[in-house]
Amino acid sequence: GENVEQHPSTLSVQEGDSAVIKCTYSDSASNYFPWYKQELGKGPQLIIDIRSNVGEKKDQRIAVTLNKTAKHFSLHITETQPEDSAVYFCAASISVKTSYDKVIFGPGTSLSVIP
Amino acid sequence: GAVVSQHPSWVICKSGTSVKIECRSLDFQATTMFWYRQFPKQSLMLMATSNEGSKATYEQGVEKDKFLINHASLTLSTLTVTSAHPEDSSFYICSAEGRNQETQYFGPGTRLLVL
C-alpha cells in the first residue's frame, strides 16, 4: 500500500522567511496530493492540492511542486506570518472519480513562525 | 467552500458508557464519509470509510463492534463508541467527500475523554 513520508517533523522560521516541507510517496499510481493545515484543537483544513498532470501550483504565498519521477512533492510558504504556525500534513491518494479515495497522510510537520 | 460540522466538539464520559458523535456535510451531499482518530502530536489514522446506505469498511485493527458507524443519509454519518474505556480517549475527526470529488473536507473534530 501507499506510504507517505514527511520532513522535517518540526520547523522554526523567522517571520518573513520561507518555509519548505518535503514529502515522498511510494505508490506510483497515486495521482492526487492535498496539503492540510491543522491548528491546535481543530480539524485539518485543505490549503492547496495538486494533481499528477501538473508540476507546480501556486496560490498567493503558498505553492506546491510535484516530481512524479522521483515521487516527491513539496509545500513552499513564502513571507511567513505568525498565523502560519500550525501542523501541516501532506497526503497522497489514488483518485478514481467513480469511487471514493483513500487518502494516506504523512506524519506531519509542526511549523513555528517566530515574530 | 464545502463545510463539515461535528457534534459534540468535546465530551467527557464515564468508563463503560457509549458516546455518539455526529458528522454532517452542510452544503453538499457526501457520498462517502471517513472517520479518523488522532492521538496527541500524531498523524490522522483512518478508522473506517462509510458510503451512504451501505455498511462501513473498517481498517485493519479497528473493532467494528466497538466503533459503530452509520451513514443513513447523504449529509449525516454517526460514530458510536460503545462501552468506552480510558484508552478510547482521543480526538475523533470525520471527513466527507462528494460524488465525483477528489477532496475530503474535514470536520472540526470531537475530543473524547473517558474517565
B50-102 per-position pLDDT tens digit: 888 788 999 999 999 999 999 888 899 999 999 999 999 999 999 998 876 77
- pLDDT in the model for residue B98: 84
Task: Give the integer Cα–Cα distance in Å for B111 and B115.
Answer: 13
Chain centre to alpha carbon of residue A47: 8
Is the pLDDT at A93 greater than 60, yes or no? yes
- The reply to whether omega before A44 is within 30° of 0 (cis) is no
Is the pLDDT at B110 greater than 60, yes or no? yes
Percent of chain A with pLDDT over 70: 94
Is the pLDDT at B37 greater than 90, yes or no? yes
Position with higher pLDDT, A36 vs B99: A36
Task: Give the integer Cα–Cα distance in Å for B75 and B11.
Answer: 22
Task: Show Cβ contacts of residue A44 under 8 Å, excluding neighbours closer than 6 positions.
Answer: A36, A37, A38, A89, B44, B93, B106
User: Which region among A31-45, A52-66, A100-114 has the lowest average model confidence (pLDDT)?
Assistant: A100-114
Is the pLDDT at A99 greater than 70, yes or no? no
Percent of chain B with pLDDT over 70: 97
Is the pLDDT at A100 greater than 70, yes or no? no
User: Which region among A34-48, A49-63, A91-105, B71-85 has the lowest average model confidence (pLDDT)?
Assistant: A91-105
Is the pLDDT at A11 greater than 80, yes or no? yes
In this prediction, residues B23-52 reach a mean pLDDT of: 91
Q: What is the mean pLDDT of chain A?
A: 92
How is A74-105 classified by DSSP, letter by letter?
Answer: EEEE-S--GGG-EEEEEEEE---TTS---EEE
Categorise residue A44: left if φ over 0, alpha if ψ from -120 to 50, beta otherwise: beta
Structure-block grid coordinates of residue A19: 518555509
Residues in chain B whose Cβ is within 8 Å of chain A: 4, 6, 31-32, 34, 41-44, 46, 49, 51, 93, 95, 97, 100, 102-109, 111
Q: CB–CB of A103 and B104 under 8 A?
A: yes
pLDDT tier for residue A98 given thresholds of 50, 70 and 90: low
Please report residues of B whose CB lies closer than 8 A to that of A5: none
In this prediction, residues A31-43 reach a mean pLDDT of: 94
Give the nearest partner residue to B43 out of A43, A100, A105, using CB atoms.
A105
- pLDDT in the model for residue B78: 95
In this prediction, residues A28-34 reach a mean pLDDT of: 91
